[in-house]
Structures are given as structure tokens and as C-alpha cells.
Amino acid sequence: MAKAYDDIPGTIVFDSEQAARGYHLNQFCISLRLQANRDAYKADPEGYIDTFPMTPEQRTAALTEDWLGLLELGGNIYYTSKLAAFHGINFQELAGLMTGMGSTDYRAMMVSGGRSIDGNRYQSEWDENDDG
């Protein structure tokens, strides 16, 4: 079913459908909030991740740190940021990775006022830019 927010570009709304898809993935990510679990994941990544019944695609995305893929497969940023924290990546560095801009350029964009809303409201605005 089409949703009102489907046409917002570069955005995945974590709605009930995404939440259901990403449940075990998100529970894996959030488990890394605690030191004992961080230690267990560090000692044996595959052994630890296999205690969470996620899909093979989700498992690969987590192990390979595919930050956009994780969101598309049902992950939510507040959960995937715990996996990022495990790898020593903070929110701003994570945004640098997801946008493909890299930390330096992303930080510079934020310092100069952030990503403008103009041209970033509708998917059609992004598609036009691709054509151009």
C-alpha cells in the first residue's frame, strides 16, 4: 500500500512494517548497548550474531557494516547506531558514511547550516537532478 511518506527522498520511515521486518536485527544491535555483549560479539562475531534469528541478508549487512542496507532491511538508526558505536563510529561519522559524503565534507555541510530543505522534499526533485 502506498504511504504518504514514500515520496520523501533518502528517508526510510521506521513504521510497523519496517519494525516487523527488522525486529531480530534491531534486537541484535541493541544488545551491543551492554559491555558483556560487546565483549561476546568482539570475541566471536559470527557465533554471537547467530544467536539472533535474522535473515541472511540482514546478517551479512550487519557483519559487513552496510549502513544503508541495514536501514532498508528493517533496521532503525537508533539501533544501528549501537552497532556503529561498537565499531567506534559516532552519529555524525555514521551520517558521513550513509550519505557517502565522508566525515569531513559532512561535518562541513553541517557547520555551514546543514542540508537545505530546498530540493530535498520530494523524490521527484532528486530524480530530476539525476537526469541533469
Partner 1 sequence: MARITSGVACSHVPALGVASDKGITGDDYYGPIFKGFEFSKQWIAEEKPDVIFLVYNDHCTAFDARVIPTFALGCASEYQPADEGWGPRPVPVVKGHRDLSAHIAQSLVLDEFDITIMNEMEVDHGLTVPLTMMFGQPEEWPCPVVPLAVNVVQYPAPHGRRCYALGKAVRRAIESYGEDLKVCVFGTGGMSHQLQHQRAGLINADWDARFMDLLVNDPEFGSQIEHIEYLREAGSEGIELVMWYVMRGALNEQVNEVHRFYHVPASNTAVGHMILENA
Which residues are near partner 1 by CB under 8 A?
A: 4-5, 8-16, 19, 22-23, 26-27, 30, 32-35, 38, 68, 71, 76-79, 81-82, 85-86, 90-92, 94-95, 98-100, 106, 109-111, 113-117, 120-121
Which residue's CB is nearer to partner 1, number 11 or number 64?
11
Rounded CA-CA distance 67/131 in Å is: 26
1: how many CB neighbours lie within 10 A of its CB? 4
Which residue's CB is nearer to partner 1, number 17 or number 50?
17
15: how many CB neighbours lie within 10 A of its CB? 10
Question: At closest approach, how far in Å is the CB of 128 from partner 1?
Answer: 16
Residue identified by cell 553541517 is: 110
Residue identified by cell 551492554 is: 34
